[in-house]
Amino acid sequence: MPRVTEETVDHVARLARLSLTEEERRVFARQLEEILAWAESLQALDTSGVPPMSHPREAETLRDDEPRAGVDRATALAGAPEARDGLFRVPRVIGG
C-alpha cells in the first residue's frame, strides 16, 4: 500500500495538467490514501493467468474507410475561446 503524500498528489496533478490549491492537495492526499487502502482488497485476489478486460466486446465492427465530410473549419473554430486567422490561438509556445 503506497503512502500518499501531498508530493504524490503534486506529481499526479502535474501529469494531469491540474493546478491545485494547497487545500485541495491536502484533502486529495488524505482521500486518495483512504480510497487506495480500501481498494487494497484487489491485491489479495489470485489473478494469475487471468486476461485483462479492456471493454466488453470481443470484436469491433469497423465501418468502411471511405472519405466523408467532417466538421468544417469555421464550425470547428466557432466554439474556440480565442481564434485568429482560421487557427486556435494559444500563448507563445516556442521562443519568447
Partner 1 sequence: MSGLPGLAAAAIRRRVAAHEVSCEEVTREQLARIEALEPAIDAFLLVAPERALVSAKRLDAALAGGAPAPALAGVPLAVKDVLHVEGLPTTCGSRILDGYHPPFAATAVARLEAAGAIVLGKTNMDEFAMGSSTERSAFRPTRNPWDRSRVPGGSSGGSAAAVAARLAPLALGTDTGGSIRQPAAFCGVVGLKPTWGRVSRYGLVAFASSLDQAGPLGRTVEDVALACSALFGRDPLDATSADEPLPDFAPALAGEAAGLRVGVPWGFLANGVEVETMGRFREALHALESAGASLVEVPLTHLPHAIAAYYLVATAEASSNLARYDGVRYGRRAPGAHDLPALYGRTRDLGFGPEVKRRIILGTFALSSGYYDAYYLRAQKVRTLIRRDFEAAFEACDVIATPTTPTPAFRLGEKTDDPLQMYLADIFTVPANLAGLPALSLPCGLAGGLPVGLQLTARAFDESMLLRAGAAYQRVTRHHELTPPF
Asked whether position 33 contacts partner 1 by CB under 8 A, the answer is no
User: Taking the complex as a whole, how short is the minimal distance between the CB of residue 47 and partner 1, in angstroms?
Assistant: 4
Residue 19 Cα distances to 16, 23, 81, 93, angstroms:
9, 12, 20, 19
Give the span between the Cα atoms of 94 and 80, in whole angstroms.
Answer: 21
Round the CA-based radius of gyration of the chain to a whole number and report it. Answer: 22
For residue 30, state whether it binds partner 1 (rule: CB under 8 A). no
Q: Site residues (CB under 8 A) for partner 1?
A: 2, 8-9, 11-13, 15-21, 24, 28, 31-32, 34-36, 38-39, 41-43, 45, 47, 50-57, 60-63, 71, 75-76, 78-82, 88, 90-93
